[in-house]
Amino acid sequence: MKCPNFYKKNSIQSVVDIGSGYGRVVNFISSINRIKSYGIEYDKEVFKVANKIKKKNVNLYCGDIFNFNIKKFKSKCYILVDPFKKVQDRNRFLSRVKKTYPGEKKYIIAVNNYKGRFPNQFKLIYSTIGSKTRTLKIFEIS
The boundaries of the domain holding residue 135 are 3-141
**CATH value at residue 51:** 3.40.50.150
Please state, in angstroms and rounded to a whole number, the distance separating the CA atoms of residues 5 and 13. 13
Which of 9-18, 30-39, 42-51 has maximum average pLDDT?
42-51
Task: State the pLDDT confidence band at 1, using cuts at 50, 70 and 90.
Answer: very low
Q: Are 136 and 80 in contact (CB under 8 A)?
A: no
Please state, in angstroms and rounded to a whole number, the distance separating the CA atoms of residues 138 and 48. 29
16: helix, strand or coil: strand
Q: What is the pLDDT of residues 75-130, one digit of tens each?
A: 999 999 988 888 899 999 999 999 998 889 999 999 987 777 888 899 999 999 88
Percent of the chain with pLDDT over 70: 97
Q: Where are the beta strands (DSSP E) in the chain?
A: 14-18, 36-41, 58-62, 77-80, 106-111, 123-129, 135-141
Please state, in angstroms and rounded to a whole number, the distance separating the CA atoms of residues 32 and 41. 22
Predicted local confidence at residue 3, as pLDDT: 55
Which amino acid makes up residue 79?
I
Counted domains in the chain? 1
